[in-house]
Amino acid sequence: MSAAKRGLLRSGQTDLSVRSVPCRDKVHHRIAWRTVTSSEAPPKDMSRWLGDGGMPILGAIGVRFDDYGTEDDDDAGWATAVWEPQPIACNPHGIVQAGVHSVVLDAAMNFAVNAGLRGKDRTKATIEMKAETMRPAAAGDVLSVRGAVMRETRQIAFAEARIEDAEGRLVSRATGTFLLHRAEG
């Protein structure tokens, strides 16, 4: 197992490996240097982004990211949060504005995409997003948020996010397309 696979090297660092090459009646040992690619780098440690996700606006409206990871079968990223809407997120009637739902859903999808990327790869921008609000949410409600990557290509990631109330009913959802920044070539 290479050093990169064991998680000892980061993207961009050099891995030294020795390989045996059969040559007629002898075996020659060749030393090969190679640069570790971002796909071989260990998963990101994003624990510093738990809480407000590094965005003070999320903390102000009551969002706290509490977990993230990758799916076992395809390394697709996911992220979860708890949202207790604050009065600043609401209209004069105490109902959370649809645009505020969009901010939370966008952040959940962005966090999920980044959770699945390796090395110094990261999201660059939200290219497109569609959000729907199905039920009202009010200040003080306790809502669960989950973002997940549906598909990823070299330059683009497709994600979805949903917000559910305490009874598990869908409050709002979104799909989004994200431009990726790859650290190498």
146, 69: one domain: yes
CATH number at residue 172: 3.10.129.10
Note the pLDDT tens digit of each residue in 49-60. 677 767 889 999
Residue 179 has pLDDT above 50, yes or no: yes
141, 55: one domain: yes
Distance between CA atoms of residues 113 and 74, nearest Å: 13
174, 105: one domain: yes
What residue numbers bound the domain in which 15 lies? Answer: 1-42
Structure tokens, 96: 């959370």
Assess contact for 100 and 157: CB atoms under 8 A: no
152, 68: one domain: yes
Residue 149 has pLDDT above 80, yes or no: yes
Q: Name which of 120, 126, 184, 135 is nearest 157 in CA terms.
A: 126
54, 120: one domain: yes
**pTM, rounded to two decimals:** 0.75
17, 102: one domain: no
35, 60: one domain: no
Pick the residue with more confidence: 127 or 32? 127
139, 76: one domain: yes
Overall number of domains in the chain: 2
